[in-house]
Every structure is written in structure tokens, then in C-alpha cells.
Amino acid sequence: MSFNAHQLAYVSQALMAKLCVGIVVLVLAAAGPALGQTAAGRIKTVSGTAFVGRQGSEIAAVAGQPVFEADALRTGADGRLALTLKDETRLSLGPNSDVRLEKFLYAPGEARLGFTLRIARGLLAYVSGRIAKLSAENVRLETPTAIIGVRGTRLVIQVEQP
């Protein structure tokens, strides 16, 4: 089967259009749950297998990537991930961890503060930030069997699957 130059140009244009649409879709999916939503923080370091779950899809975690309220963070057997939130809360996930940033409100000028992190499994190191210092009662770390109220501290939580 042979193609003339006109047919090849048409096929190339069609493939390029599909590629561009695919790139736009990926960029919009990574942009955040809603365009204009402010990031809660940023991933600082990643090693091994780690993912960010957002709006039903999972993308590979990379250093510098923004993290939004409602994002899930997951590490594989060889994965580690560290992030810093806007209020200077620091989180580090060890291997085989799965957490979700359920709530992140940081508007101290408007007295709107809140942080809820759901830890489904794995190892998490937590260093509290400004939300815990300004409004400790609005900080919650949740596991399948317990809720931890934080009063401005550092801690490590390990959640094992039943």
C-alpha cells in the first residue's frame, strides 16, 4: 500500500490534532480540581513509586507539583514522598502509604483555618504548621480506627491494614 503526499499530510494533521487534544486534557487534569483553586501545598521530594490521585485519575508524583484539597497521595513498596503545605505543615509518607487531604483551609486573616488528613494505611511523619498553632481544635488526623486531635507537635503514625 502506498500513499501520496496529500494523503500523508492529512494523516499527519489528524494525528497531530489528536495528540494536542490529549495534551490539553492531561494539562487540565493536572491543573487542579477546579481551575483557579489555590494549591494547599507542594511536593518537596519523591523517591520510588508515588502518585497523586485527583478527580478519579492518578498521576505520577514529582517534586514541585502542587497538591490540592481532596487530593490523595499514595506510595508504592519502594516509594517515599514529602510535602509542605502553605501553613508550613510538613508531611512525609513512607512506603506503601495512602492518605487523603480531606480539608485544607488557611485564611488566617478571615479566621478560616482547618486541616483534616485521612490516613488509610502506611507510615506518616507529621510536623504541625501554623493552623495547629492558631487553631489546634481544627486539626484532625484520621485513621480507620482513631481520630487524633493535634495540639501543635511532631508525630509519626503507622496504620496497618487489617
Structural domain boundaries of the chain?
1-31, 38-159
pTM (2 decimals)?
Answer: 0.77
| Pairing outcome for strands 147-149 and 90-93 | unpaired
pLDDT-based confidence at residue 24 (cuts at 50, 70, 90): very low
pLDDT, tens only, 68-98: 999 999 999 999 999 999 999 999 999 999 9
Contact 127, 89 (CB under 8 A): yes
Pick from 138, 128, 152: nearest CA to 102: 138
Cα-based distances in Å from 94 to 16, 25, 53, 158: 40, 31, 17, 9
Give the torsion through C-alpha atoms of 148, 48, 78, 93, to 10 deg: -10
